[in-house]
Amino acid sequence: MAIAYRDVGAMNFGTTSLVLTIPSTALTGDVLVAVIGDRATAGSTANPTGWTRQGGAANSNGRIQTFLAVVGVGGVAASGTVTFTSQTTACIGVIAVYSGVDTTNPADNGSYRSNASGTTGAGGPIANFAGSYAVLVNVAYANGSTWSAQGCVTNPTSGNVTERIDSANGTTMSVSLADGAKTNGTGSTGAVSATMGTAGANGSGIVLLHVATSPPIFHFHRDGQFEPHYVVNF
């Protein structure tokens, strides 16, 4: 089994709350990754029902956060909307959907950083086992800058990730999400990097998804006993 990108919802913009759409292509057992950015300078957003805050960072420029949920667990539906409250005067976000993720232990705690104008990216490194999948997120706090060359210093590099969304609310804020499988599952990702089209205050982060393990396959023996055989993914 391998992790695969399924879909991404539309970018949405708000003020004191942010309503994001769950893509209608999501299926039970898929993992949802939400990235939101706002202009708060501290604290964290309360978890919506069924969601877990994965990580985030804030400074005097703004705040970036990610949240995860499993479709069909904790009341999380396969479609519809989810509302993130306790935002500040401007906020932006999207939800992406992935299949093949371990639903009991979906992700590592990633690395996040809020940056002043002229600096991008977040720290590292993060290491994980074979089959892990990196989701790279970026938010522009002060302008509608586009993003490019998202990647990690080591693995997956910018040439091995695909940008899924790069969307802005006019000239106010922007959000991008890119992802890719780690070609060396046990190695470090290194620091997260990205390029802004127009320099400005921003936030960056990474979510490292865990691949689902294969369930045992039982074979019936003539003596009436079942013996488990496991499929191992490399």
Predicted model pTM: 0.90
According to DSSP, residue 210 is labeled P
Please, which contacts does 230-233 make with residues 24 or more away whose CB atoms are closer than 8 Å?
Answer: 233/1, 233/2, 233/130, 233/131
pLDDT given at position 129: 80
Per the domain annotation, does 63 fall within a domain? Answer: yes
List of residues 6+ apart from 98 with CB closer than 8 A: 3, 4, 5, 6, 30, 31, 32, 33, 133, 135, 179, 209
pLDDT given at position 126: 87
Q: DSSP letter string over 111-148?
A: -EEEE-TT---B----B--TT-EEEEEEEESSS---EE
CB-CB contact of 47 with 56 (8 Å): no
What residue numbers bound the domain in which 172 lies?
4-229
Domain count, the chain: 1
DSSP 3-state of 79: coil
Per the domain annotation, does 135 fall within a domain? Answer: yes
In whole angstroms, give the CA distance from residue 212 to residue 31. 11
Per the domain annotation, does 54 fall within a domain? Answer: yes
Q: Please give the backbone phi and psi of residue 159, each rounded to the nearest 5 degrees, phi first.
A: -80, -10
pLDDT given at position 134: 96
Residue by residue, pLDDT tens for the chain (234 residues) are: 799 999 999 999 999 899 999 999 999 999 999 999 999 999 999 999 999 999 999 999 999 999 999 999 999 999 999 999 988 889 999 999 999 999 999 998 789 999 999 999 999 888 888 889 999 999 999 999 999 999 999 999 999 999 999 999 999 999 999 999 998 888 889 999 999 999 999 999 999 999 998 654 444 445 555 444 444 443
Per the domain annotation, does 234 fall within a domain? Answer: no
In whole angstroms, give the CA distance from residue 49 to residue 216. 32
